[in-house]
Structure 1
Amino acid sequence: MRRRGVVCVAVGAVVLGFAGGDLGTGGHAKAWADGTPVVWTEDEMPELPLERYEFDGGDEKAYDRMESATRLLTQRCMVRHGFADFPLDPKYPGMSQSYTTTMVAVSTGPVGLYGLGQARRWGYGWDPGKNMRPPEPRGREMTVEESAVYYGDGRSEHSGCYGEASRRLQRGLRDSKRMWTYVTDREAALQRQAEREPRLRRAYQVWADCVVDKGFERYADPVDAYDSKAWKRGQDGNTRRSEREVGTAVADIECKRAHNTGGVWWSVMERLQRRELRLHRAEFESVRKDRDRLLAQSRKVLEAT
């Protein structure tokens, strides 16, 4: 094994309560002596400081509630304009006749996949019998006349009934655009910064050495391995699941576990995010207040039905 790999193993051995094992959340260390969490599965990745400021804010149904409130307010507006049977969740004009194949966008977390069982069976893809396309609207297709009222003049995102609904829910917000973009933009910038951090660069090097030692190609990092064009993703976003792909995916995860790549990534990001919060706490708090106000107004609309 290369020297860097030996060093990582030596450091990783200084842990609290290590005991072998392969699957699940038990049977391995919970933290290194320096506090770096040991991450074997996605569920073991601790929350990062900026996550509490994201739109979902730990509530994965938050966006769905806002969308439901928007659809309800839009429907009421359409009824006021004389479209008494306007559906709550309409299809767009021409949607029923569209046979265009949709390219499914696939992505993974900043440290790639962690499901060892999935990797052994599907590589970097998934069960082809599983439908990964987002659900289509359940209501009928709106007419061209309805569409004109629904979208308005098209010159502004706040025109038409849909725009009216958006204005109602965003009433009182200090900066709706910043609410949607600020946290994700800062997270992306910090991710780019993290990739230049010496500690994470060393961790990726050790991970890459480990993958090569198992007989597979060298990749810059786990996301680079996941996104490789060699897996020949189709328009549905799935891969071909070749023997080479499956072997690489398994080696990828085994090496992340062996050298705690995910834990090191989290530790680096946690430090950068805490510094970001210290420098820009007022901006983050303003974003959170706008988000909470929007969600509160969405809940009020839904509870009034």
Structure 2
Amino acid sequence: MRRRGAVCVAVAVVAIGCAGGDGGAGAGAGHAQTWADGTPVVWTDDEMPDLPLRKYEFDGGDHGEDAHRDMESAVGLLAQRCMVRHGFAGFPRDPKPFTMAGTVTLTAVSVNTGPVGSYDPEQAGRWGYGWDPARASGPRRHAGRMMTREESEVYYGDRRAEYSGCSGEAYRRIQRGVRDVKRMWTYVTEREYTVRERAEREPRLRRAYRAWADCVVDKGFKRYTDPVAASSDKAWRRGKDGNTKHTRRETGTAVADVECKRAHNTAGVWWAVTERLQRRELVEHKAEFDSVRADRDRLLSNVREVMAAG
């Protein structure tokens, strides 16, 4: 299973009935693995099964979550060779980008909490809809030294031109044989977004959201249309980094949010609705998805060839 959330904390399992969340399916089952109709019971990120379109994503093939890392390694190796050819002996494989003295780098922190938010009651109780600033990650750390201005100009070439400089040469090499680069990178994400919009209009999911909202109100908090609306409430006063103020009202709402999602298996219902729509999507656009996967596999094959050659 694929981990989608930012933080997963082990919590004690308590028996919560599922009655009323989806027509009584799984009533009284507690924290079972599935409801009687096959809907998975999702209390943590690790319990969210992969969806059908997952295997068509860039990191959904044989390389798995290492696909992006392996591609960056191959690009770095090819770009390094190119720089050496241009007379920059000793150029590092993973250089830091050139920056002017005194330049300030702003880092935006992104927290992925999935389509129906977080499921972690401990995290919700401490940080609400935000996160611990001490655990926020900054920019990716490069292993090599910083490029000089001269090296940077050769490495990136004409920044207004696509695939320019040694970096562009490296990308052209690993994309050799790929029929439609843009579609390879964007098609699956676009179709996933389309399915997500359709799922939000499905009566079953709307009923699940209403049950969740009623539960949150019963615990003394504001009514929201869905968990996304709760997490994006402007009352949480997010700063420039996206983090919230962690007020008592916020953390209380976040805990109620998690408890109600577990009580009514909101995430499991979302998965079941989305899974059905994604399977239909695969049937209706089979040729396009097959082409995307073929291009993805071609690129990763090129990556393996580059790395094997050293």
Report the TM-score, using the length of structure 2 for normalisation.
0.88
CA drift of 1:207 comes to 0.7
Aligned position for 2:210: 205
Aligned position for 1:57: 60
SS at match of 1:8: coil
CA drift of 1:217 comes to 1.0
**Of residues 106, 115, 123 in structure 2, which corresponds to 1:110?**
115
* Mapped partners of 2:157, 2:149: distance in 1: 12
Aligned position for 1:31: 34
For 1:133, the aligned partner's letter is G
What is the 5 A alignment of 1:107-256?
Answer: 107-256=112-261
Does the CA-based 8 Å contact 1:179-1:290 persist in structure 2?
yes
CA drift of 1:149 comes to 1.3
Is the counterpart of residue 11 in structure 1 residue 24 in structure 2? yes
Aligned position for 1:94: 99
Does the CA-based 8 Å contact 1:102-1:236 persist in structure 2?
yes
Deviations 1:239-272 (A, max 9, x none): 2211111111110011001111011101110110
Segments of 5+ residues of structure 2 without an aligned counterpart are: 1-17
SS at match of 1:184: helix
CA drift of 1:147 comes to 1.9
Report the TM-score, using the length of structure 1 for normalisation.
0.89
Aligned position for 2:80: 75
SS at match of 2:98: coil
CA drift of 1:99 comes to 2.0
Task: Identify the range of structure 1 (283-292 vs 84-93) with the bigger mean alpha-carbon deviation.
Answer: 84-93
For 2:273, the aligned partner's letter is V
Q: Percent identity?
A: 65
Segments of 5+ residues of structure 1 without an aligned counterpart are: 21-27
Deviations 1:191-230 (A, max 9, x none): 0111111111111111111111111111121112112222
For 1:30, the aligned partner's letter is Q
CA drift of 1:6 comes to 6.8
Identify if the C-alpha distance between structure 1 residues 229 and 132 changes in structure 2 by more than 3 Å, giving closer, same or farther.
farther
Identify if the C-alpha distance between structure 1 residues 9 and 80 changes in structure 2 by more than 3 Å, giving closer, same or farther.
closer
* Mapped partners of 1:300, 1:201: distance in 2: 48
Identify if the C-alpha distance between structure 1 residues 255 and 285 changes in structure 2 by more than 3 Å, giving closer, same or farther.
same
* Mapped partners of 1:226, 1:89: distance in 2: 37
Task: Identify the range of structure 1 (255-264 vs 225-234) with the bigger mean alpha-carbon deviation.
Answer: 225-234
